[in-house]
Amino acid sequence: MTRWLRLRSVRTKLLAGVLLTTVSALLVATGALMVFDLRSYQDVLSNDMRTQAELIGRASAAALNFDDPKAAAANLGLLQVRPRVRAAAIYNAKGAFFASYVRGGGHFDFPKLPDSAGLATSGDTMTIFERIVANGEILGSVYLVADYGLYRRVARYAVIALGVTAAALVLSLLLSLWLQRMLTQPIQEISDLARHVVDRRDYSVRAKKMSDDEIGYLVEAFNDMLAEIEHRTSAMAEANQQLQREMAERERADRALRESEARYRSLVEGTAQIIWVADERGMIAGPAPSWQAYTGQSDAEVQGEGWAKALHPDDAGPALQAWRSAIEAQSVFEYEYRIRSRNGAYRWFSVRGVPVRREDGTIREWVRICSDIDDRRRAEEEIRRLNETLEVKVRERTAQLEETNRELEAFSYSVSHDLRAPVRAVDGFSQALIEDYADRADEGMRRYLDRIRSATQHMGQLIDDLLNLSRISRVELNKLEVDLSTIVRQVAKSLQQREPERKVDVMIWDDVAANGDPRLLRVVFENLLGNAWKFTSKTEQANIEFGVLHEAQRTVYFVRDNGAGFDMAHAEKLFGAFHRLHAVSEFPGTGIGLATVQRVIHRHGGRIWAHAQPGKGATLYFTLASGAASAMGREHEV
C-alpha cells in the first residue's frame, strides 16, 4: 500500500488518508461498544438465570421435603412468564429426576443426572445448575435452559455498524473533496513553478503566498530557496573568476617552492652535520650528498637501507631495527651509533629522525640529522671510569671508617667497664661514711658527702648508658615477631611501680606487632616511655600514648606525651649523644638515651624523628624496615 501511495498524487493520498482514518475510527469504536454491550448482556442474563434458579429452588424446597412432584411442577410452571427459558427440571437429593417444565409442552432431553453447580453457554443456549439447600442440607438441584441469543445480537450490531460506516464514508468523501481544493491547489502551483524553474533555469520567479499555515511557510521556504540559488549562482560565477586568479598565483608559488628546495639542498650540502631525506617508508630514494661525502658511499650503495652498511657492525642491527620501529609507529627516531668515515675510522653520532607530514596527517618523508658526539662520548667514558675509581676509594674509606668505629666502640666499652669499679667504690665508701659518722658529721660534711654520692651515681648511670650504647652496636640482631603492646605495658608497669604516688593516664593500642629484636626494642621503649614519664612529672594531668599509623608505603609507630615539650629549632640535636634540651636541675638524665634509641632503630633499617611544642608535649615517631603492625583497639592503663 505504501508503494501505491508513493505513485499517486497528493489528492489521492489525502483522500485515502481521510477514508482510512474514518473507517479505522468507526471500526475501533463499534468493536469496543459491541464487546462492552455483549459482556454486559451476558452478565445480566447470567445473573437473571441464577436468580430464577434460586427462586425456583427455594419455592420447591417444601415439595422436595414432602416428596410432592406436582407442587414442584407447579413451581416450574411459573417460568411461562419468562419466554427466554426453554426448559427446566428439578432433581432430588439422590440425583433422580423429580419434576420438569418445557416451553410449549414439547419434548426436551434433560440430563439423567445433575451436574455440578455452575453456568455454561453453548452456541445460542445457556444452561445452569443450582443446588437447593435448606437449613444447611442439600435437598436437590434446579436445572434451567434458556435462549442465549448472542449470535442474533452480534448480527444486529454488524448491520448497524455497516450502515453507519457507509454513511460516514460518504460524508468523509465529500469532506475530502472540499479539503483537496483548499490544500492541494497551492501545492500544485508550487509544483508548476518548480517545473518552470527547472526547464528554463529562471531563478527570479517567486511563488505567491495565499495563507499563513504550513503551506504558506512552504511557499516562503521555496522562495527563500530560489533566492539562495540565485545568489549562489552569481557567487559561483565570481568564484570561477577567483579560481582562475588563484591558479595563476599557485603557479607562481610552485616556482618559489622549487627555488626554496634548491636553496635547502644547498644548505644541507654545506652544513657540518650529516642530513639526509628518506621517503615515507624510510628508504633513501635519491642522492644524500652530506652522507655520501662523509661515508664515501656511492649513489647505488646508499639507496634503500644501504646506508646501514656504513655503521659499526655492533650497531647496525639494533639501529636498523629501531629505525624500522619508528617508521611503523610514525614517531620521532632518536638513536646513537658509530658511523664509518671515508678514511675507515668510526665516530659516535647522535641521530634524530623527524617525520614530515602532509596537511591530512600522513607522512610525506623523513628528515634525519646526524650530529657528531664522539668527543662527548669519550669524555663521558672518562667520567664513568673516574667515578668507578672514586667508588672503589669510597668503599675502601668506608671500610676504614667502620674499622675505626669498631675500635672506638671497643675502647669505649673497655674504658666504661674499667671505670665502673672505682665509681662504685667511691659511692660505697661515701655511703659508709654517712652511716658511720652520721652522729659526728656536721651539716657541711653531710652536704659534701651527698654531693659525692649524687655525682658518683650520675657517673655510674653515664657509664651504664655508654656501655649500653656500645653494646647495641655489637650485639647480633635476632629478629622475631614481637608484640610491642605487651612490651610497652611491661615498661609502663615498671615505671608506675617506681613512683606509685604519680597518676599518669597511659593509653596503649592493642595488638601492635612488629618484626625486630625483642631485647633491643625493649631498650627503645624503656628510653622513650622513660622520657615521657620524666617530662610529664610537672604536668597535672599527665597523658602518655603508644600507637601506630598506617601510611601508603610504611608503618609508623609513635609515643606521645603532654609534658614539657621542646623547641623544634633544636630538634636536630635531639638524637646526639650528650645533647640535652633541658637542664639537669630541671629534668635529670645523661643525654644518651635517645642516641641509643636512634642506633637501635637504624640497626632495624628504620628512622626516628620528633615533633613537639614547648609546654604542649612531644611525639616521637619511628619506623622499622620490615615492620608490620596492626591495631585492634586501645587500652587505658593508670
Residue range 327-364, pLDDT digits in tens:
888 889 898 989 998 888 899 998 998 998 888 888 88
**Predicted pLDDT of residue 540:** 81
**424/395 same-domain check:** yes
Mean pLDDT across 525-536: 82
Does residue 465 lie within any of the structural domains?
A: yes
Mean pLDDT across 45-50: 77
Examine the pLDDT at 470 and tell me if it is beyond 70.
Answer: no
pLDDT band of residue 557 (cuts 50, 70, 90) is very high
Does residue 225 lie within any of the structural domains?
A: no
| Mean pLDDT estimate for the chain | 76
Examine the pLDDT at 514 and tell me if it is beyond 80.
Answer: yes
**Predicted pLDDT of residue 411:** 63
**540/466 same-domain check:** no
Among 565, 578, 580, 577, CA closest to 610: 565
**593/505 same-domain check:** yes
Q: CA-to-CA distance for 291 and 370, rounded, in angstroms?
A: 9
For 201, list phi and psi in degrees, rounded to 5.
Answer: 55, 40
Residue 150 sits in a domain whose CATH number is 3.30.450.20
CB-hemisphere CA count at 13 Å for 308?
Answer: 16
Examine the pLDDT at 66 and tell me if it is beyond 50.
Answer: yes
- Classified as helix, coil or strand, 308 is helix
CB-hemisphere CA count at 13 Å for 4?
Answer: 5
Q: Tell me which of 408 and 274 has the higher pLDDT.
A: 274
Examine the pLDDT at 43 and tell me if it is beyond 80.
Answer: no
- Model pLDDT for residues 562-614, shown as the tens digit of each residue: 887 777 766 676 766 555 555 454 555 556 667 778 888 888 888 888 888 88
Residue 463 sits in a domain whose CATH number is 1.10.287
Of 337, 372, 407, the residue that ends a domain is: 372
Does residue 169 lie within any of the structural domains?
A: no
Examine the pLDDT at 148 and tell me if it is beyond 80.
Answer: no
Q: CA-to-CA distance for 428 and 382, rounded, in angstroms?
A: 68
Examine the pLDDT at 627 and tell me if it is beyond 50.
Answer: no
**482/618 same-domain check:** yes
User: What residues are paired with 274 via a beta bridge?
Assistant: 370
Domain count, the chain: 4
Candidate from 180-194, 370-384, 415-429 with smallest mean pLDDT = 415-429
**529/620 same-domain check:** yes
Which residues, 6 or more positions from 529, have their beta carbon under 8 angstroms from its beta carbon?
A: 488, 491, 492, 495, 544, 546, 559
- Classified as helix, coil or strand, 77 is helix
**Predicted pLDDT of residue 348:** 92
Tell me the residue ranges of DSSP E strands in 97-174.
97-102, 118-122, 125-134, 137-147
pLDDT band of residue 265 (cuts 50, 70, 90) is low
- Which helix (H) or strand (E) segment holds residue 369: the answer is strand 363-372
Examine the pLDDT at 242 and tell me if it is beyond 90.
Answer: no
pLDDT band of residue 314 (cuts 50, 70, 90) is very high
Q: Tell me which of 240 and 560 has the higher pLDDT.
A: 560
**Predicted pLDDT of residue 111:** 80
**320/387 same-domain check:** no
Which residues, 6 or more positions from 479, have their beta carbon under 8 angstroms from its beta carbon?
A: 515, 516, 517, 626
**Predicted pLDDT of residue 175:** 72
**470/324 same-domain check:** no
DSSP character for 114?
-
**407/423 same-domain check:** yes
pLDDT band of residue 15 (cuts 50, 70, 90) is low
**Predicted pLDDT of residue 629:** 47
Amino acid identity, residue 605? G
Please count the other Cβ atoms lying within 10 Å of the Cβ belonging to residue 90: 26
pLDDT band of residue 241 (cuts 50, 70, 90) is confident
Mean pLDDT across 226-253: 78
**414/365 same-domain check:** no
Of 343, 372, 401, the residue that ends a domain is: 372
CB-hemisphere CA count at 13 Å for 133?
Answer: 7
Q: CA-to-CA distance for 184 and 175, rounded, in angstroms?
A: 14
Does residue 518 lie within any of the structural domains?
A: yes
Examine the pLDDT at 460 and tell me if it is beyond 80.
Answer: no
**454/493 same-domain check:** no
**Predicted pLDDT of residue 31:** 72
DSSP character for 116?
-
Q: Tell me which of 445 and 389 has the higher pLDDT.
A: 389
374-436 helix and 443-474 helix, angle to the nearest 10 degrees = 150
**562/416 same-domain check:** no
Q: CA-to-CA distance for 444 and 450, rounded, in angstroms?
A: 10
Does residue 207 lie within any of the structural domains?
A: no
Q: Tell me which of 292 and 155 has the higher pLDDT.
A: 292
Lookup: cell for 80: 411461562
Of 348, 372, 396, the residue that ends a domain is: 372
Does residue 263 lie within any of the structural domains?
A: no
Does residue 203 lie within any of the structural domains?
A: no
**Predicted pLDDT of residue 87:** 86
**362/484 same-domain check:** no
- Which helix (H) or strand (E) segment holds residue 558: the answer is strand 555-561
**Predicted pLDDT of residue 414:** 65
Q: Tell me which of 422 and 126 has the higher pLDDT.
A: 126
Q: CA-to-CA distance for 563 and 537, rounded, in angstroms?
A: 7
Mean pLDDT across 64-79: 79
> What is the percent of the chain with per-residue pLDDT over 70, rounded to a whole number?
68
Residue-number span of the structural domain to which 495 is assigned:
478-637
